[in-house]
Structure 1
């Protein structure tokens, strides 16, 4: 796909996302269920976020063993430019090298199941600086509040979208289950699967800790299995600052 066609496809997807939200979004007074955000597969603010919300965060992951000893880290900025609509700018890096540019859009479709469930969609456009290659992904997001303590966030979609290549259109599945132990401490278990030649399966138990009224820390230690490789322990940490 050349650059012009990619830009056109990105605009079409973004337009569909915005149009769907306009048609499906509920009344502004609708109460959205509070559901924590996964650590590995980050969201662009929670579903149902209000206009003007701003966040900066950085995720760092590193393997404890194995042939890939590189540290991956990704600073990003998220902004809710309208109720239920958010945008993200992300700059993934590998060690000291800037690896990619990412632009994300997220839309909230509304609540259902008596206000206990919320759903939406997320789109990412990605430019790989090393391979000089553009790609994009799309996922449907579904959050559910079981009770005062337990909740979950699920994402299902496709990575590396293409209408012409059988080697692309790889499935994405991310599911996170949360238990809110206290008002400031949440325990979670996140499963992240990416299909395809460069796919992986990641299991990441995690701790979310509120440090101050606008600072949060997410810390996880899990196992990551790259396709064709044995599972390796991995450490992840995300520091979040809300404005």
Structure 2
């Protein structure tokens, strides 16, 4: 598994920016597909060079042993057409829990420009167990019509470079409906399968504000392996430059 992830990541770094530039430089345009609120992407697929975003996600369970605030400030930047990088600081309470980085490349469009696909790599250094863990996902977004769209991600997560390999199957799917040109509603489903299972269901609303600001909020439920469903709420505040 580690060898496969290393090979694919090398391919992303060498090929994805070139492929995205070729597509963006021609007549093809990328469909407008929103990003999920919780499993955030590194800018939308097809991002243009120079796009910059800072945002912070705050989440909390309504009950249970993990009922404390979790927040994650991050910065995202498109270093080339169709290729973006991310730096994030996951925080629990008032302490930094991990260091996280992300790389995302866009492969191109399909289905007459209604679909777009790419790949995302996430690397996280856990300060508690002092291990680097990797996640590699295939991303596919689709604009069904003027109002409906979907974003899906599937891949392997929690792959450790040393020690016990606790790799998991990661699946995330979101369906969105545009209520207006500034507001949309959606439902995000996030699943981790294999070993300790995790499922999250998060209905959410996104709203664009003036001057590059936007806000996303949702109330849903999560279930860890062997535990009951628990309420969970989240808010993400975004500033685009």
Q: Do the two structures share a fold, i.e. TM-score over 0.5?
A: yes
Instruction: Indicate which of 130, 139, 158 corresponds to 1:160.
Output: 158
Over the aligned positions, Cα root-mean-square deviation in angstroms equals: 2.1
Tell me the CA shift for residue 14 of structure 1: 3.7
Instruction: Work out whether 1:21 is the aligned partner of 2:19.
Output: no
> Cα 1:78–1:10, aligned 2, differ >3 Å: closer, same or farther?
farther
> Cα 1:165–1:114, aligned 2, differ >3 Å: closer, same or farther?
farther
Question: C-alpha distance in 2, partners of 1:10/1:95?
Answer: 32
Instruction: Indicate which of 31, 40, 61 corresponds to 1:42.
Output: 40
Instruction: Work out whether 1:207 is the aligned partner of 2:205.
Output: yes
Question: C-alpha distance in 2, partners of 1:98/1:196?
Answer: 27
Tell me the CA shift for residue 137 of structure 1: 0.6
Q: What's the counterpart of residue 241 of structure 1?
A: 239
Unaligned runs of 5+ in 1: 1-5
Instruction: Work out whether 1:182 is the aligned partner of 2:180.
Output: yes
TM-score, structure 2 as length reference: 0.92
CA contact (8 A) 1:47 1:108 kept: yes
Deviates more, 1:195-204 or 1:173-182: 195-204
Question: C-alpha distance in 1, partners of 2:171/2:165?
Answer: 18
TM-score, structure 1 as length reference: 0.91
CA contact (8 A) 2:131 2:161 kept: no
**Partner of 1:201: helix, strand, or coil?**
strand
**Partner of 2:44: helix, strand, or coil?**
coil
> Cα 1:209–1:123, aligned 2, differ >3 Å: closer, same or farther?
same
Instruction: Work out whether 1:223 is the aligned partner of 2:218.
Output: no
1:73-112 equivalences under 5 Å are: 73-112=71-110
CA contact (8 A) 1:154 1:176 kept: yes
**Partner of 1:161: helix, strand, or coil?**
strand
Instruction: Indicate which of 106, 112, 115 corresponds to 2:113.
Output: 115
